[in-house]
Structure 1
């Protein structure tokens, strides 16, 4: 595999996992939360630097449905991350305590809710590129041939992840976290970082699978219509 592609994949994987760790605020504590947040910011800057050519092509290429969705999600992801990071610096009490603020509660609400929306948008962002990610993983592992058994096994695994992800979404009350800010938090007394990561990775799986297969359905339908012979 191309070393640059491998570096991108590793950078994005580490950034995604650290984003989840940063969301586990009531498990890690504030200092770890802020340090991890700074690392995520640096990795996000690296991510955008490595993909800087993409921004130059926004107005140059033809825009089909997939392209429009990709542009919209990517720009929304950028805006959400920017809001989350700016508000994080302003409300920081350990790394940037010298910055004066007047409306702490509003900034905290912006920070928390952009974090949860960024979590969902990240999953959709990954889903848009899932085909490319899987192709890179196949080349890296040498599994370039097709296998019906492997395909069935992976699809069963995807279904199980989505089922558990839906369960975790309700259990973790994700719907409310996306719309309502609770200053007192909402966590499990027996929660652990491992359980937190498993639950939230499964929730990410919902949106990765949903985005990937929705795009696949649209592509297959367009190809079928293109191949359909005209009948006079």
Structure 2
């Protein structure tokens, strides 16, 4: 793996973990939340700078179902992140207290709601690139062989993560948080580690779901391809 790809993976991994920690507002407190938010903003700018060629190529090439889905989700994630960060800066009381905001309730609601939606979209975004991520990790760890035992073990692990993620999703009331804003906050007695485990498992639902859904679609397209080409020849 080249250094640029390794740097991208590390940047994205750190940004993902910090975004999860930032969501644990009731654990970290406001000041740490804002500091982490600024770091995430910097990492997000770096992420988009490293992927700037992707924006130039949006309208180029063949637009398959997978590519259209990827473009749409990436743009949704971009909009959610921009709204979340702008609103976060406007309602800041520790790092940017000099910004005058008289009625910040609307900005607070936008900040919170876009954070939760961005969390889900980010997980789907990772799921779209999961195959590439796995291949990069395999190259980095120099794993070249195909092991049925390893494959089965990883799939069992994925099922367990998804199962626990479904449980955590209900425990954390994720469905409610996506559509209902609570101005008093959502308070749980979780530790930071428990919070991270629960939310990483929730991400696992969307990562695994997106990854295997795309694999299924790819297989269906491969099955349809010979029929189509055969029909054209006839």
Q: TM-score, normalised on structure 2?
A: 0.97
Paired position in structure 1 for 2:131: 131
Alignment of 1:39-58 (within 5 A): 39-58=39-58
Paired position in structure 1 for 2:226: 227
Residue 14 (structure 2) pairs with residue 9 (structure 1)? no
In structure 1, stretches of 5+ residues that fail to align are none
Paired position in structure 1 for 2:174: 174
Cα distance in structure 1, aligned partners of 2:44 and 2:3:
19
Shift of 1:230: 4.0
Shift of 1:184: 1.2
Paired position in structure 2 for 1:27: 27
Q: Report the aligned-residue RMSD.
A: 1.1
Cα distance in structure 2, aligned partners of 1:227 and 1:201:
40
Residue 204 (structure 2) pairs with residue 205 (structure 1)? yes
Shift of 1:185: 1.5
Q: Per-residue displacement from partner, 1:171-206 (whole Å, max 9, x unpaired)?
A: 0000000000001122223x1000000000000000
Cα distance in structure 2, aligned partners of 1:68 and 1:197:
31
In structure 2, stretches of 5+ residues that fail to align are none
Paired position in structure 2 for 1:147: 147
In the TM superposition, structure 1's runs of 4+ consecutive aligned residues that sit over 2 Å from their partners are 227-232
Cα distance in structure 2, aligned partners of 1:3 and 1:21:
27
Secondary structure of the corresponding residue to residue 160 of structure 1 = helix
Cα distance in structure 2, aligned partners of 1:144 and 1:83:
42
Q: TM-score, normalised on structure 1?
A: 0.97
